[in-house]
């Protein structure tokens, strides 16, 4: 059950952060921009509405930041893995090109 004092915008932003982490973990990258845009709007509206940030809101913001860091880490991992795959494909193409020219000379 939610704390009645919890800001609804921050609570939804945290939910979106969880969804973004799950999407990044599953390499479902196409949905991330939409989720991030929605979360960004919620955070902007909170910033504009909030006169003071209480301890509960601060805790939610910290959780959102932690989830964001984890999501970024997963995305960087996917990017490095894709880079390695592309490097290996390039090595394979070069090998095929090198061996195919030798075969044609026979």
- Res 56 pLDDT > 80: yes
pLDDT of residue 26: 93
| Token pair listed for 22 | 């799950």
Closest C-alpha among 11, 29, 12 to residue 71: 29
CA dihedral 59, 22, 13, 52 (to 10 degrees): 20
Range with the poorest average pLDDT among 57-66, 67-76, 80-89: 80-89
How many Cβ atoms are within 10 Å of 52's Cβ, its own excluded? 5
* pTM given for the model: 0.75
pLDDT band for 51, please (50, 70, 90 cuts).
Answer: confident
How many Cβ atoms are within 10 Å of 77's Cβ, its own excluded? 13
């Amino acid at each position: 059950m939610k704390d009645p004092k919890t800001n609804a915008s921050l609570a939804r932003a945290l939910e979106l952060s969880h969804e973004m982490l799950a999407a990044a973990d599953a390499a479902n990258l196409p949905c991330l921009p939409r989720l991030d845009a929605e979360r960004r709007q919620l955070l902007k509206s909170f910033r504009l509405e909030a006169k003071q940030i209480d301890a509960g809101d601060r805790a939610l913001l910290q959780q959102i930041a932690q989830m964001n860091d984890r999501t970024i880490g997963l995305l960087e991992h996917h990017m490095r893995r894709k880079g390695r795959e592309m490097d290996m494909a390039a090595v394979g193409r070069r090998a095929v090109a090198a061996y195919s020219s030798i075969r044609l000379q026979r």
